[in-house]
Amino acid sequence: MKIVFRTLISIASIALVTACGAGAQQSQAGKLKGNFNAGKTAFPRYCNGCHGVRGDGKGTLAPYLDPKPRDYTMGIFKCRSTPTGTLPTDEDIYNTMTRGFVTAAMPPWAPLPPQTRMDIVAYLKGFSPRFTSEAPGVPIPVPAETAITLESIRRGAELYKKLECARCHGAKGRGDGPDAPTLVNIKHEPLPPYDFTVTERFKCGVTNSDLYRTYMTGMDGSPMPSYADKLTPDLAWDLVHYTRTLQVGHRSKENSILAKAAGSNVLAPSHP
Amino acid sequence: MGRLETIMGHGGRIYARAIALETWSPRSPKRDFSPRCTSGTYCRIVRRSAGLALAVLLFLVAGSPTASAIPAFAKKAGLRCSACHEAWPKLNAFGQAFRDNGYQIGNERDSPVYQSPLYWPAGVRFTPQWHRERNGAEATDQSATGVQPVTTQGFDLSGIDFWFAGLLAKNISFVVLPSSDEYGNFHFESGWVRFDNLLKSPWLNVKAGKYELDMVVSEKRMLTLSQVGGIYQMYHYLPLIDPKAFAAAPLAAGETGASTTAFGIGDNQLGIEIGGHSHNDYTRYTVSVLTSSDGAVNLPTSKGYDTFMDVSRTLMVNSLGPQTFGAFNYIGQSPTQYLTQTPAGGGAPVNIPGSGFGNRSFTRTGAYGLLSAKKLDVVPLYMHATENADIALGIPSNQALPTGVQNPTWNGRMLELYYTQNLQFIVIARYEDIRNARQVFASSLSNYGDMDVETIAFRWMPFMHSRAGLAICPEYSKLHQIGASATGTNQTLSSAFIGLDFAF
């Protein structure tokens, strides 16, 4: 028995040395480089139950999920730092995987080692031919945030009305606008609009900068368009500041300002 | 004088462990100990059939398709088992984080109000099995030397676990685990409520009830199940009492000559735990205050409390991935005397439960690592144990120790290897030894009671999805202990096992 055990340890040691060999780089964010083959091993463990073995969003759990899992073969991603219609950067996909999608089945995979996450990025890019024929878009600039003031929040409230955000997200941001039941994604699958009141997080991040980026890039594949051609940076920040106030019950500077100004009544004229 | 007593493990499974009592005998149903299949045509058929079955199994392992999934538990987490389990039930980093976060994914859909009314957070685990047990020195009346090898084998059943686990509300999780042995005798293996993320911080969680100590090298989620290899022996080891030395130091009145505790750090304990972890779960701590009863309910011992603490830290080492290091310490106590009551009809006085006093202490202190390199996981574990001689020999605290008796200490070491070939196939190898540093009797041989355990196994999971899991788990384990037979000769036990371990 000891001989068997020692032999096994020897084999394991060889495997350990072999395992340390680096594979080909397929994705990169900063110094972190992903490996396609390593991702091929990790993807079935964590991902293909929902996203499917072909990455087409047809995993065996998919019929029971709402919203539906991402179809990677289309090469279309909601959360990006790049302009609408372009491919995301590797870092965008990595960040999405890390934070998950709040109010969807996609969990935050932050507990996984960064290398594993980046390996999976390398692998899932292989599902779409877009990644071989196109380069990722250039990340949009996120200018310095304007001051968070009552006036900014008021302007944001007006924009919320003017841009008809309430048609989908509802007057109070609960995702219950009149168009909400009809919304579908690019695959014609039902896709309810985001309910801002659930948590202080957003679909594509948690900071004001994350929300600004979402307004300017849109969420490709969903009804949420890019407002880059409709909003100046200052106006986009105003809309961000107002959106924060829809997160009732959550601490934020915007909500504090609103509370000091006698609550949301100060915005009443903007709300039907 | 040493024996391997069977104990209740997870699933009410019966495992062997070394304790200092009398001769070992299997606590199993009546068995025919006559050896079978030693020669003849029947045996050749059996062996060829076994060989064929093994070949088919290896073929299936080599050519098995990618694991498929059948949705069900997706109603709760929307994930397949492999997301949390390296190989069910062994947790991976994501599963550990899920557990530490109070069974919450963190996508704002964890609360039961988001679940279908039909969702019922229940699971069952059971393991039909074939196993072969060999005792190299069983005490028998027929042997001229008093002991002889005895081997038995056959198909058998495990106990059963009924798992109820989930959330009562956001940040309030629970487990209720009624578990039976293979005879259907039920007990509560676990039952607790945990308040998670207090003060909106992952660093503060409070759990109360009966639970597994936060042993990162978890015996409850180990992948081996046989009688010998189904536990970490060092988690349950108690020093043997050397019969020769014992005979030279006769007991005084009130002395029992047997340990007053059956403590095992692998046993679930009753108490309250405060624990916490960093957001990425790389840094963890737990502190527990526990009733001094080794998890036995209804306050059977004394009013004493034990303490346990564990800290661990994970470091990310470039391409190797996460490497975890940690340490734990248990300080316990056990009564050495009880108030007694003579039965109304006469007879020997009996201890009054809960009236124990004259507590004496014992400790378990250890360090461990969870090291990984791609498909290979290496788990080193070291544990140092001490015990008061009064506990070891059952000597009332108000009596002087016999001459030559001392507080025993011992050390356990383990190296465990996991090679995860793919989602469905994992190989496990383990070597464990226990060395006595100081014997109860100074006159005993220095290596008396020392133990070596070797286990090799693999676990093949033909499928792993979110509702059910099945693992076919062949295993061989061998234990060798110095002087542990009834006559003081060395004892060797071995288990060969193949089980159909399933959870639904």
| Cβ separation A109–B106 shorter than 8 A | no
In this prediction, residue B4 carries a pLDDT of 39
Q: Looking at residue B463, what is its pLDDT?
A: 81
The alpha-carbon gap from B500 to the nearest alpha carbon of chain A, in Å, equals 22
pLDDT for A6 equals: 61
**Whether the domain at A23-133 and the domain at A150-270 fall into the same CATH topology:** yes
pLDDT class for B3, splitting at 50, 70, 90? very low
The pLDDT of residue B412 is above 90 = yes
Contact flag B374-A19 (C-beta cutoff 8 Å): yes
> Residue A47's closest chain B neighbor by CA?
B83
Structure tokens at B295: 């998890």
In angstroms, the separation between the Cα of residue B192 and the nearest Cα of chain A is 25
Residue B244's pLDDT band, with cuts at 50, 70 and 90, is confident
Give the pLDDT score at B73: 43
The reply to whether residue B280 touches residue A110, judged by beta carbons under 8 angstroms, is yes
Q: What is the pLDDT at residue A7?
A: 58
Task: Inspect the interface and report whether the beta carbons of A112 and B79 lie closer than 8 Å.
Answer: no
pLDDT average, residue stretch B306-312: 98
Task: Determine phi and psi for B113, rounding to 5 degrees.
Answer: -65, -15
**Cross-strand bridge partners of residue A227:** none
Banded pLDDT at A60 (limits 50, 70, 90): confident
CB atoms B429 and A107 under 8 Å: no
Average pLDDT rounded to a whole number, residues A89-103: 94
B373–A16 C-beta distance less than 8 A: yes
Q: How far is A111 from chain B (nearest CA, A)?
A: 5
Closest C-alpha to B219, from B476, B7, B4, B491: B7
Chain B: residue whose CA lies nearest to A7:
B429
- How much of chain B, in percent, has pLDDT values that exceed 70? 83
Quick check: B63 pLDDT over 80? no
- Tokens at residue A244, please? 């924060």
Is residue B152 classed as helix, strand or coil in its secondary structure? strand
Q: What is the pLDDT of residue A93?
A: 97
Domain count for chain B, please give it: 1
**Res B72: pLDDT:** 36
Q: Which of A20-24, A182-186, B425-429: highest mean pLDDT?
A: B425-429
Topology of the domain covering A23-133: Cytochrome Bc1 Complex; Chain D, domain 2 (1.10.760)
What does the pLDDT average to over A59-88? 92
Contacts of B224 in chain A (CB under 8 A): none
pLDDT greater than 60 at residue B18: no
Q: What CATH number should be reported for the domain holding residue B264?
A: 2.40.160.10
Q: What ipTM is given for this predicted complex?
A: 0.79
Query: Are the beta carbons of B429 and A104 separated by less than 8 Å?
Result: no
* Nearest alpha-carbon partner for B187 in B267, B264, B263: B267
CB contacts < 8 Å between A and B, how many? 133
Question: Domain containing B410: what range?
Answer: 3-29+41-503
Chain B interface disruption, residue of A61, A64, A174, most B CBs within 10 A: A61
Q: How far apart are CA B317 and CA B322, in angstroms?
A: 6
CA closest to B476 among chain A residues: A1
Within chain A, how many helices (H) and strands (E) appear? 11, 2
Q: Tell me, yes or no, whether B36 lies in a domain.
A: no
Q: Is residue B35 part of a domain?
A: no
* Contact residues, chain A, for B281 at CB < 8 Å: 111
User: Mean pLDDT throughout A243-272?
Assistant: 78
Considering only CB atoms, which chain B residues are within 8 Å of A101?
107
The answer to whether B312 and B324 are in contact (CB under 8 A) is: yes
More confident residue, B52 or A64: A64
Q: Is the pLDDT of residue B35 over 60?
A: no
Residue B34 lies in a domain: no
Does the beta-carbon distance from A113 to B69 stay under 8 Å? no
Written as one string, the DSSP assignment of B417-454 is: EEEEEETTEEEEEEEEEEEEEE-SBTTS-TTTT-EEEE
For residue B471, list its beta bridge partners.
B501
Question: Can you give the pLDDT at residue B467?
Answer: 73
| CB contacts, 8 Å: B94 with chain A | 46, 109, 111-112
The predicted pLDDT at position B83 comes to 87
Choose the mutation target among B84, B108, B432 for the interface with A, i.e. most A CBs under 10 Å: B108
pLDDT at B180 over 50: yes
pLDDT of A172 reads 94
Mean local confidence (pLDDT), A66-82: 94
Q: Please indicate whether residue B242 or residue A188 has the higher confidence score (pLDDT).
A: A188
Domain boundaries, chain A: 23-133, 150-270
**pLDDT above 50 for A123:** yes
State whether CATH 1.10.760.10 applies to domain A150-270: yes
- Percent of chain B at pLDDT exceeding 90: 61
Chain A residues in contact with B422 by the CB 8 A cut-off are 41
Taking contacts as CB-CB distances below 8 angstroms, the residues of chain A near B96 are: 111
pLDDT band with cut points at 50, 70 and 90 for residue A43: very high
Residue B180 CB partners (closer than 8 Å, separation 6+): B12, B159, B160, B186, B187
| d(C-alpha A267, C-alpha A158), whole Å | 9
